[in-house]
Chain A
Amino acid sequence: MNFYRRLVALSLALFSFLPLVTDAQAQPENLIDTIKKRGKLQVGFASFVPWAMRDKQGNWVGFEIDVSNKLAQDLGVRLELIPTAWDAIIPSLIAGKFDVIIGGLTITPQRQEQVDFTLPYSTSGQGIAASKQLATNLKWPEGYNSPHVTFACRRGVAGCKTVEEKWPKATLRQFDDDAIAFQEVINGKAHAVISSEPTPSFFVIRNSDKLFKPTNENIVNTFEGFGLRKGNPAGLAGFNDWINKNQAWLKQRHQYWFRTQDWAGLVPSI
């Protein structure tokens, strides 16, 4: 080969390794500092009544929205809400699409392996709504543990794991959101649906001819925390600090959104 060809060949060979050379490991940063420097707090969440939902004007309202707003205010930054599909919320956090998940993320051991949780800032429970057409004659709870029984749930919620653990023989069908999971039961295609309270109670009240509650207690009581990427102790400490300082406010807000229907006028009636 002549000289010029050799030169081109050599530079191509070096160029092909270029991406590896520019590989610089990201330094672990204090999340709070990053947020303050950016001037924006990016929060990931999903639509879940009454944690976060759209009001009549199309703005986001709900318990989580109140929490995110106050957190951004206290940090002195703007708030950017990033609604995400619920089953993609943890991968999106890990991929860096937002700083923190404030969306009723139940603390579970499986999730602990992937994300760091703050102290719990709210509690909730999981409830079941069953189909009057299919499930009236089923004994609670043993009758539901049969291959002929179909449960519906929203993919990614902690309730799906609960069904797998408590009723292992039943068939579990997972859907993209609560509305179609409940519609499945209303249409008589599934025996029961599991979701976080107060959603099952809401649906039973609204569809009392098709749905009923097999039991008035919560199946499982759960705690929710903020979800953060692993390896950020300073950020975790900062958020824990904030939660501790605002316990009373959080309780009052939780009471408003979950125990009363005072906000019902804000959202389109479903």
Chain B
Amino acid sequence: MREPVPARQPPQAPPTVWHRSAGWDVFQFVILVVFLLSLAFHGATQMGYQWKWDRVPRYLWRVIDGEWVWGPLLKGLWVTVDLAWKSTLLALVLGALAAWMRQAPSHLGRAIAWIYIELIRNTPLLVQILVCYFILAPTLDLNREVTGVFCLAMYEGAFAAEIMRGALKAVPKGQSEAALSLGMSLHITQQDIIWPQALPLMLPPLAGVLVNLVKHSAIVSVIAIFDLTTQARTIIADTFMAFEIWLTTALLYLSITLCLSWGVGHVEKLFHRPKW
């Protein structure tokens, strides 16, 4: 008779499992917030600066004789938003055009696009706006708003062009070859095959371009367009409440850019990434 098979070892006690307690995470967060706030408070009091936050709301809105009047900061915010959406459309058009021209068969087209992108990307926007407004605009008789929109769009369009070109190149060459060999025209290939595959790839970096456009729109204050930054600087020159006004202005810009980021993120979800 065979030896009875020894009984199996009883299962080992499982190793101690460290559960993440929610309390510990909440505690860490609270500690971080308290530390940052105390740091900010310490810095603010050490400066010996008189904070006058109660004088800020009048620059956002006022109620005069029962009538609601927008303050200069919110009026400037509106001008900035106006400037931004016009520049965005023009920038996307210019960017798409330049991206297309860079891979066009025509040598002249490639040269023009390359010169545009390299020249505009590599010079400061401030210099471009001053040159456009004080040298070109008088000859072409353009007003400051048109110059501002045009300069911003040119600048961001150069960055958008490279992003779009990268996304177009990322679509496999086999796609356009297959489409053309199936007899589709160049126009249909681009419209129905290439660009729909390229769009989800270009959306995340383009969100960055749009946010940059809103931030760079602050530079048009040098040509005295009454945008948010101009209004903020005027208020500071009058009242010397530099810190309160700049912090408020930063929050207003943040509100625009966060909405933009959220919007583009939403559009990204609509385009499901192609799976291959």
- A contact set with B: CB distance below 8 Å: 1, 5, 9, 12-13, 15-20, 22-23, 25-26, 87-88, 90-91, 94-96, 110-111, 113-114, 152, 155-156, 160-161, 173-176, 180, 183-184, 187-189
25 contacts between A and B (CB under 8 A): A5-B24, A12-B28, A13-B34, A16-B34, A17-B34, A18-B38, A19-B38, A19-B42, A20-B41, A23-B42, A87-B233, A88-B242, A91-B236, A91-B240, A91-B242, A94-B240, A110-B238, A110-B239, A174-B230, A174-B233, A174-B234, A175-B224, A184-B224, A187-B134, A187-B137
Given A95-B47, A155-B233: A114 touches B35 (CB 8 Å cut-off):
no
CA distance A17 to B34 in the complex (A): 7
Contact of B42 among A15, A20, A175 (CB under 8 A): A20
Say yes or no: A160 contacts B134, CB within 8 Å: no
Per-residue CB contact flags for chain B residues 84-110 toward chain A (1 = under 8 Å, else 0) read: 000000000000000000000000000
Given A22-B42, A180-B130: A16 touches B240 (CB 8 Å cut-off):
no
Nearest-CB residue, chain B, relative to A19: B42
CA distance A12 to B34 in the complex (A): 10
Chain B positions within 8 Å of A175 at CB level: 222, 224
Say yes or no: A23 contacts B240, CB within 8 Å: no
Say yes or no: A187 contacts B138, CB within 8 Å: yes
Q: How far is the CB of B216 from chain A (nearest CB, A)?
A: 17
B49 in the interface, Cβ–Cβ < 8 Å?
yes
Say yes or no: B27 contacts A9, CB within 8 Å: yes
CA distance A204 to B130 in the complex (A): 23
Chain A positions within 8 Å of B49 at CB level: 94-95
B75 in the interface, Cβ–Cβ < 8 Å?
no
Chain B positions within 8 Å of A20 at CB level: 38, 41-42
Chain B positions within 8 Å of A5 at CB level: 24
CA distance A174 to B236 in the complex (A): 12
CA distance A230 to B126 in the complex (A): 36
CA distance A16 to B38 in the complex (A): 7
Q: How far is the CB of B233 from chain A (nearest CB, A)?
A: 6
CA distance A20 to B43 in the complex (A): 9
Q: How far is the CB of A211 from chain B (nearest CB, A)?
A: 15
B31 in the interface, Cβ–Cβ < 8 Å?
yes
B39 in the interface, Cβ–Cβ < 8 Å?
yes
Most buried by B among A5, A26, A87: A87
Given A175-B222, A183-B134: A87 touches B236 (CB 8 Å cut-off):
yes
Q: How far is the CB of A107 from chain B (nearest CB, A)?
A: 15
B123 in the interface, Cβ–Cβ < 8 Å?
no
B144 in the interface, Cβ–Cβ < 8 Å?
yes
Nearest-CB residue, chain B, relative to A95: B47
Q: How far is the CB of B126 from chain A (nearest CB, A)?
A: 10
Nearest-CB residue, chain A, relative to B49: A94
Nearest-CB residue, chain B, relative to A90: B240
Taking A155-B234, A187-B138 as known contacts, 17 extra A-B pairs with beta carbons closer than 8 A to each other, sorted by chain A number, are: A12-B28, A17-B34, A20-B38, A25-B45, A26-B48, A87-B233, A87-B236, A87-B237, A110-B240, A114-B240, A152-B224, A156-B237, A160-B237, A173-B224, A174-B233, A175-B222, A189-B138
